[in-house]
Every structure is written in structure tokens, then in C-alpha cells.
Structure 1
Amino acid sequence: MFFGPVPLSQAEGAILAHSLALPEGRLRKGLRLSADHLSRMAAAGLESVVVAIPAKDDLEEDTAALQIASAAAGPGVELRVVGTGRVNLHARGPGLAQLRAGQILAANAVDPMLTIATVPDLHRLEPGGMIATVKVISYAVAGAAVAGVAEAIAGAVSLAPPVWSEATLIETEIAGQDAGAKGARVTEARLARLGLAMAPKISAAHDSEALARAIAAAPGTGPLLILTASATSDPQDVGPAALRLAGGQVTRVGMPVDPGNLLFLGAFQGRPVIGLPGCARSPALNGADWVLERICCGIEVSARDIAAMGLGGLLVEMPSRPHPRMTPKGP
């Protein structure tokens, strides 16, 4: 592609590189220059203009962007053409972004004029949420480069939708203490963001035997969420002990995400079980969100996966949290 100034006599059919303010109105960049446009420029005293002229084998920006975005889009993704060399990729429904990092890195290495930017992998999306944007920087680019990017990025951007329609919350209670309704209300809202309903809440006394009975009797087949009246402080504490007593398995107690440290994870008769940390009573982001979202969308979460969450796991401080993570400065 040629880019630079040319005499007005050679500019017809070229792409205007920069917007121009003329006495009769503004000409927007990206415009295909006609004889009328050039006459107006000449009347304004211009003798030359900066233009882009695609080569024979070049693709113009909008065409190139659409080809790349179409190649990148996998299941659950729809395209929205913006123009000026940009096409956005959006989620068709709620779910988590699934991104093939190696392919995206390879695509962005082909030609600096051809770019794709994404949200983080496994980022939660609501219906219509933007997953990625393709932007062609120059007005035209070699067709071979576009083909190379499209090949590199094929199917690299997709959406993992929810695989469950309902989850069940079991909340323990300590005699003489009012558990309140906040935990259930906030949990229901978290599930609703992913399109899941919450079954009627189950209450149980805060001891391992009562909780084990509640786990064993919980109806449905979806995830079981356990919110204990007192935080889980040990693998032998009430929540994990109850899950084992009911015949389930505990795969992880504790996570390197703050807030969210006091989570436990396991399974019961094929149902995922998440022991929610106390901070899950707040709508603020915490480590349980990452685990809950993945499980609801059918993405397996192992003990190793939770261990890896520590990288980036120091989340925003919750203003209502009574124990800040920094000691006050001395005098």
C-alpha cells in the first residue's frame, strides 16, 4: 500500500488519510475521494493531499477485519461490525471466555497492522458482553498477511456457557445466632448472572452430622454450595468433615486468593460441592467467584487449578472487611 502526499490530479479513487476541514464541510478520513471532493479541495487552495492507495493484492481495512474476526469466532460468539477497520466479538449468552492464548499470540505476531485484543481467559460475560476486538490499523494490508492471521487464530475465541440450570445452597446455623438472609440473597444473585436458578435454601445445624444429613438429602443434580455459620479453618472443620461423612470427597481446603482463602472444594455423588468462604456473603469479587463460575460452566477445577489462582489472586480490598491486610504506620 502506498501512503503519502500526492497531487490532487492523482488522488481520485484514493483513500483520504486524514480528516480535512473545508469551507463547505469536513471530509472524514477513510473516505474514497471523488472528483467532487478534489474540486472542493482545489477551491480551498489545496494542491496535494495525503492518501492511502491499496496495492493490487491488498485488502481494505473493513474486509480484512471481518475475515480475521470470522476466523477467530468459535462457539457462542457473534460478530458486530463497527467499521473503520474494527469488528467486535460478543458473547451470545452468559458464560466464560475461552481463549487459546498461543494462537492469539501467534496471530498478533504476523503483522503489527493486524491486531486482536481480548478480555482475560475465563472472564465472566453477560449476554452481549465483548470478548475481543479485531482492529486493522492501516487502511489496507497485504491479503497474504490477513490469511496468515486468520489461519493462526482459527476458532481461538469461544464462550463456555453454563451447563447447569440450578444449584442448591445449604447454610448452617448456630443456635442463638441470626444468620440473616444476606448469604442466600447474594448467592442467588451470583447464580443468576450465569443464568442459574437457586433451589430453595436448605438450613442445617452447624455440626458435621447434621450437615452431612443435609448434603445426602439435598434434591437435584446441580452444584451444592455450602455456607457455614463459622468459617472453615481446617480440613477437619465442620464443612469438609460433613462432606466426607456423607460419602463425598474433599479435593481442596483453602485457596491462595484473598479474599476467598477459606474455600473448600469437593464432590458428592457426581455433584460439585463448593464450601463458600465467609466473604461470599458480600457481592464483592472473591476467590469463590472464580471457582463457582468455572464449575457452573462445566470447566473442571482441580486442586492444582486453585493453587494456580494465587497468581493474580490478591483482589481488591473490601471496604467493609474489618481486618485490613496492612498494619497501620507507626508514628
Structure 2
Amino acid sequence: MIFGPARLGDDLAGAILAHSLKTTDRLIPKGAMLDAASIAALRAAGHSDITVARLEPGDVPEAEAARRLGAYLSGPGLRVAAPVHGRVNVFARSSGLLHLDPAGITALNTLDEAITLGTLADSMPVAPGDMLATLKIIPFAVPGAVMDRAEALLAGETLLAVAPFRSMVVGLVLSRLPHLKDAAIRNTIEATRRRVTARGGTMLDPIETSHETAPIAGAIARLRASGAELLLIAGASAVTDRADVAPAAIVASGGTIERFGMPVDPGNLLCFGRIGGVPAIVLPGCARSPKQNGIDFVLDRIFAGEAIDNATIASMGIGGLLKDFTPRPAPRIPRTAPKAAPFIAAIVLAAGRSSRAAPANKLLTALPDGRALVAAAADHVLASRADPVIVVTGHQADLIRAALAGRKMRFVHALRFAEGMAESLKAGIAALPEQVAAALICLGDMPLVDAATLDRLIAAYDPDEGRAIVIPTHRGRRGNPVLWDRRFFAEIVALGGDAGARQILARHMDEIVEVEMDDDAVLRDFDTKDALTSLKGIP
């Protein structure tokens, strides 16, 4: 590839523009391949000398290089997105444990500065839709010889994979002492249940016993008889030795203790054993809290179907320091106030004239439960974490307000709603409080998008990690609603006519995260007479 300044002329057709340039009526972005029309437009705008990249024989353009190398990253549980600006992102299709080949990744990154691959850390738990890796081609093209070496290196290699979590049946024993409060038992059960269900498991009814070896062993026997594939024991007091009450109950049940203590803090006092082929774990006291601790490291590997032994637990020390504390002479990072959770608002668009369903207003269509269609959509939004909820009205505004009466939401009227969706978006954005960090743009004619779906979109939002625009998908198709970070509000407000905010996406591909949904609710709006007829079967 030849890179440098050049005199603007017809001989630059096929060259790649190195920097974005304005013409009289548009912006020609960097990376654009020049043709006769763009060269003429640049001349008319007064440009004479520009910087370009010209491909040499054998050079592979960035998009093609990214596509070819990205194909080697595909595998079970993974989804490789289409290349955008020389970048290919890899996403998880399922929940599981991420595994990397550090040596292979380093070898690829060492091969040539034109090719880079960044990933999450090894052995991280991931959820569907999480971005695991990004492969970026740095220049506009990769020399053919470099591509040959990169493809030879990747052939037959698995640089990243997701070991899917298995559905396991888990038993929990909780021992009691007089000083232990009921709240502590409840917190332990709830925190444990969340850990189990988050990994796709199910939990048997917990068993409470006195803090003695024989009763705990009896509870273990009952849980094993009920089909427990993993046994967890929450002792009323912390374990202090392999021969302590709870570990002794594992031994009394015919099991062995393989490891007492782990190099993860919090979580040091975990005790790992086995009864036959069933893992049996005495939980550290910190497991009563939902915050990450040593038990999460162990559960991730068990649910991913991986063997756990003394050596495995010993290896968890790298990355196992999960907390800071006051006695350290010099804190590792400046102490600041905890970062507050961002305010995520929801804007429900309910201003349209419903022309495709005329003469009826689709939003007022009655569902079998008596609610209007727009009310069902709004109730899901109100049940989500989004706050505040703003409804944009326009056509038949009084009737829409009446259908939503009594609900905790704010109404704003789009005066020029008849001009198209852009006016509704402007009205909704303008009504957002200053403290709102992002907003879900919800459609009032999508009553099947429930609160759990909305909360998954909110949970995926993290602008610091490049997840500033969150889009739901189903089987590869993008749907609604879309969550937008505040920094895109100005671009949304600048839209006109019946343009939706989706046209902005092409300018911010690196800021998008897709969240795959199990059903097609995010694809189903009801804006035609036939679609509204199908509502009769919706509960």
C-alpha cells in the first residue's frame, strides 16, 4: 500500500481517501474509494492536494481482510458480526465460560502491526450478546504476504471458545446457631438461588439443620436422593479447619475434602470436597452476599462442565484479589465515591396517525384483557427499570391519555406529529431530565416486549465499554426498542420527516451491542389491520 499526499486528478480513481473531506453538499468519509463523481465534487469544493492510500498488487482491503480473518474466530457458542470499517466483533450466543488461547492471540498480535485482536480476560463468565473480542485491521489494506501468514497461523486453531453452562440441579444445606438471624438465612438462600439460576441451574428446596455434623450429613443424604448434582453447605459459622463441623459432614457422607482455603479474597474460607462424583462445597461467609467472591470462580467452572481440583483452585489467585481495604499503606487507586447507577429513561412513541390500520387507531385496539394496545406496551415499560417514562402523544392525544390514565408517566405532545416520526423523537428527547444518561425508544404498538426484555437491554448498556447503543435481535434480525446514550440525542433531534433514529447507526457501528432474544417479540409491531386481527389470540 502506498500512502501519502497526492495531487487531485482523475488518476486517483480507485484510491482510498485517508481523511474525511467536505464538499459543497456532503462529507466524503475517510476510507471512501474515490471515483469520478467524488473527485469532481472535491475539485468543485476547492480541494487540490489530498492524502490517499493506493493499493498495490496483492494488497487485501481492510473489509476483506477483517472478514477473512474473522471467519477463523467463529465456533460453537460464538457469533461473528459483519466487518465494519475494518473491524469484526465476536459475540457470545449462549451463557458460559470464555476460554482463550493466550499464546495464539499473542502470536497473531505479534505477526504484523496491521492486525490486532483484543479480547475479554480468560475464564470470564459471559452471557448471550456479550462482546468477547474485536479484530481490527489498522491500515486500509493488509499486504498479501501478511494475510497468508495470518491465515496459516489461524488455520486449525481455536483462539476463543465459550464452554456453555449446563443445567444442573443444586442442593443447599443451611446450618443454624442461636445467634444467627433469620435475615441471614434468607439472604443466603436468595444470593445462592441467583447464582444458580444465572448459570442456568435449578435449586431444590433448601434444608435447614442445627450446626452439627450428623444433621448436616442427613440433609446431604436427602438432597442426593432428590437428584442434587451439586451440594452447597452454608455453615452458621466460618470453617476454621478441614475437620470442622461442615467439612466433617461431607466426610461422614462418604466424601473427601480436596481443598480447604482458596487464593481469592473475599472467599478465602471456601472448602471444596466431593461425594462420589458430586461436588460438595462449604461456602465462605461472603457467599451470603450477591457481590462477586470466590464461590463464583468455582461455580463458573462447575457449570461449564470443567474439572475442579486442588490445582485448579490454586490457579485462581491470579485475578483473585477482588477488594481493596483501608490498612493497605497506599491504595492502588484514588478513593472516590461509588459510581451511581445511571438514570435510564424510556420514551414511548404514541403519536402516529395509524394510517396503515385506518380508520382505527391501532394504539387503542382493545386486547382480550380489556386494555388498549398502547396500555399493554406502557405497562411493560413501567414494570422495567426504566425511569422516568415519557409518552409522546399526537394523533387522538386525548384518547391515548385516557387509555393510559392512572399510570405513573409523563405526557408530552408532539405539535407537528403529522410530519413524521422525527417530530415525536424530538419531543420525547426534549422532555428528558438532565440527569438521564440514556433512553429506550419504545414503540407504542409493540405490546409483546416485556419488562424482562427491557431490563436485559438496560443491563447491557455500558458506554465505558463501548456499549452505548443497545439493540435487541432475534435470529440475526434487529428489532425494537433501541437504547441510546445521551451523546446521540443531538443527532436524533436533528432528524427530519418520517426518519427514524436507525439511520444514525451506520455512523456509530463501534458503539453498538446487540442482545439476542429468545423470541420474536422485539420484531413484532402491530400496525396493519391483519396484524391487529391477530391480537385476539394474545393474552
TM over 0.5: yes
Higher deviation after alignment, 134-143 or 21-30: 21-30
Which residue pairs with 2:41 in the alignment? 40
Change (3 A) 1:130 1:66: same
Which residue pairs with 2:235 in the alignment? 228
Distance 1:54 1:202 in 2: 70
Q: Does 1:164 align with 2:167?
A: yes
Which residue pairs with 1:7 in the alignment? 7
Q: CA deviation at 1:176?
A: 5.5
Distance 1:254 1:34 in 2: 67
Q: CA deviation at 1:287?
A: 1.2
**Counterpart selection for 1:267 from 256, 267, 274:** 274
Which residue pairs with 2:405 in the alignment? none
Structure 1 counterpart of 2:89, one-letter code: N
Distance 2:234 2:163 in 1: 26
Write out per-residue CA displacement over residues 283-321 of structure 1, whole angstroms, 9 at most, x where no aligned residue.
11111111111111111122112122222221124xxxx
Q: CA deviation at 1:147?
A: 3.3
Write out per-residue CA displacement over residues 190-229 of structure 1, whole angstroms, 9 at most, x where no aligned residue.
1222222222212222111111111122121421111111
Which residue pairs with 2:214 in the alignment? 209
Write out per-residue CA displacement over residues 85-114 of structure 1, whole angstroms, 9 at most, x where no aligned residue.
111111111001011111111111111110
Does the Cα contact within 8 Å between 1:173 and 1:179 map onto a contact in 2?
no
Structure 2 counterpart of 1:224, one-letter code: L
Does the Cα contact within 8 Å between 1:67 and 1:146 map onto a contact in 2?
no
Change (3 A) 1:164 1:151: farther
Change (3 A) 1:127 1:173: same
The count of aligned residue pairs is 323
Unaligned regions of 5+ residues in structure 2, if any?
A: 331-539
After superposition, where does 1:57-72 map in structure 2 within 5 Å? Answer: 57-72=58-73
Which residue pairs with 2:318 in the alignment? 311
* SS of corresponding position for 1:133: strand
Which residue pairs with 2:445 in the alignment? none
- Structure whose residues are more often helix by fraction: 2
Q: CA deviation at 1:177?
A: 2.9
Q: CA deviation at 1:136?
A: 0.6
Does the Cα contact within 8 Å between 1:226 and 1:239 map onto a contact in 2?
yes
Does the Cα contact within 8 Å between 2:23 and 2:44 map onto a contact in 1?
no
Write out per-residue CA displacement over residues 218-268 of structure 1, whole angstroms, 9 at most, x where no aligned residue.
121421111111111111111211101110111000111111001011111
Higher deviation after alignment, 275-284 or 177-186: 177-186
Does the Cα contact within 8 Å between 1:126 and 1:193 map onto a contact in 2?
no
Change (3 A) 1:144 1:75: farther
Does the Cα contact within 8 Å between 1:74 and 1:156 map onto a contact in 2?
no
Higher deviation after alignment, 203-212 or 73-82: 73-82
Higher deviation after alignment, 153-162 or 117-126: 153-162
How large is the RMSD of aligned CA atoms in angstroms? Answer: 1.8
Does the Cα contact within 8 Å between 1:72 and 1:150 map onto a contact in 2?
no
Which residue pairs with 2:90 in the alignment? 89
Does the Cα contact within 8 Å between 1:170 and 1:201 map onto a contact in 2?
yes
Distance 2:106 2:165 in 1: 27
Which residue pairs with 2:264 in the alignment? 257
Does the Cα contact within 8 Å between 2:167 and 2:199 map onto a contact in 1?
no
Q: Does 1:178 align with 2:185?
A: no
Structure 1 counterpart of 2:177, one-letter code: I
Distance 2:203 2:147 in 1: 46
Does the Cα contact within 8 Å between 2:167 and 2:202 map onto a contact in 1?
no
Structure 2 counterpart of 1:204, one-letter code: T
Write out per-residue CA displacement over residues 126-162 of structure 1, whole angstroms, 9 at most, x where no aligned residue.
1111111111111110233223223323321110011
Which residue pairs with 1:98 in the alignment? 99
Write out per-residue CA displacement over residues 26-68 of structure 1, whole angstroms, 9 at most, x where no aligned residue.
1111111111111111112211221112222111111111211
Structure 2 counterpart of 1:163, one-letter code: R
Does the Cα contact within 8 Å between 2:117 and 2:135 map onto a contact in 1?
yes
After superposition, where does 1:98-247 map in structure 2 within 5 Å? Answer: 98-153=99-154, 154-175=157-178, 177-180=180-183, 181-218=186-223, 219-247=226-254
Distance 1:119 1:266 in 2: 30
- Runs of 4+, deviation exceeding 3 Å: none
Unaligned regions of 5+ residues in structure 1, if any?
A: 318-323
Alignment TM-score, normalising by the size of structure 1:
0.92
Q: CA deviation at 1:328?
A: 9.1
Identity among equivalent pairs (%): 38
Distance 2:143 2:67 in 1: 15
- Structure whose residues are more often strand by fraction: 1
Distance 2:294 2:255 in 1: 22
Distance 2:145 2:198 in 1: 42
Change (3 A) 1:328 1:66: closer
* SS of corresponding position for 2:37: helix
Distance 1:275 1:144 in 2: 56
Structure 1 counterpart of 2:235, one-letter code: T
Alignment TM-score, normalising by the size of structure 2:
0.58
Which residue pairs with 1:326 in the alignment? 327
* SS of corresponding position for 1:131: strand
Does the Cα contact within 8 Å between 2:170 and 2:201 map onto a contact in 1?
yes
Change (3 A) 1:325 1:297: farther
Does the Cα contact within 8 Å between 2:269 and 2:284 map onto a contact in 1?
yes
